[in-house]
Amino acid sequence: MMPEDKIAHEKAMILFEQAYRRQMNGELADAIVLYQQSLESYPTAEAFTFLGWTYSMLGRVETAIEMCRKAIEIDPDYGNAYNDIGAYLMELGQWEEAIPWLEKATTAVRYEAPQYPYMNLGRAYQHTGRYRTALQHYDKALEIDPLYLPATWAKMALLGKMN
């Protein structure tokens, strides 16, 4: 990385952190502006993905998907973007369409919370009536993170439904 790129990247990361704090405080308009400034300084998959998440919080799911697609263009190894597209498609009621995106998230090289796409796959398969496959995915999420309560709750609820 050239020195000027390194400076631009550092500035982008500072703006990203500020945007994330604003987003978590519910200051979504400010977060969007800061994520956009981060992207102008140095485009990253993280900034596009988190900008998408912010748009989704405002109900702008199609725009969120578009931001995740841009994240994938920058870094196809970044798993969050695939998982988020899958989650947004489920939000739109497009359960079958979500599955390939979630599957890609499970194989992503760079993903700090790999239990999430397995949980989401469980939800997608459960919604489409493939209960045994859903259980396998809930189990995989719990194998990765045994304390991941949403997977435990989903698994127990589905087992109760199957009996």
pLDDT, one tens digit per residue, over 98-115 is 999 999 999 999 998 999
Task: Give which of 135, 111, 140 is closest to 125, Cα–Cα.
Answer: 135
CB-CB neighbours of 69 under 10 Å: 13
- Domains of the chain (ranges plus CATH)? 1-95 (1.25.40.10), 113-163 (no CATH)
pTM score, whole prediction? 0.93
pLDDT number for residue 112: 86
Positive/negative CA dihedral, 85, 87, 88, 90? positive
* Contact (CB, 8 A) for 120 and 104: no
User: Taking phi first (over 0 means left), then psi (-120 to 50 degrees means alpha), and beta for anything else, what does residue 95 get?
Assistant: alpha
pLDDT number for residue 3: 74
Q: What's the pLDDT band for 146 if we cut at 50, 70, 90? A: very high
Cα–Cα dist 133/123, whole Å? 10
> CB burial class (10 A; 0-12, 13-18, 19+) of residue 88?
buried
* Contact (CB, 8 A) for 45 and 78: yes
pLDDT in tens, 119-137: 999 999 999 999 999 999 9
Q: What's the pLDDT band for 163 if we cut at 50, 70, 90? A: confident
pLDDT number for residue 151: 98
Q: Residues near 141 by Cβ (< 8 Å), separated by ≥ 6? A: 115, 116, 118, 119, 122, 148, 151
pLDDT number for residue 4: 78
Find the largest Cα–Cα distance for the chain.
62
pLDDT number for residue 110: 94
Cα–Cα dist 19/13, whole Å? 10
pLDDT in tens, 18-67: 999 999 999 999 999 999 999 999 999 999 999 999 999 999 999 999 99
Mean predicted lDDT score pLDDT of the chain? 96
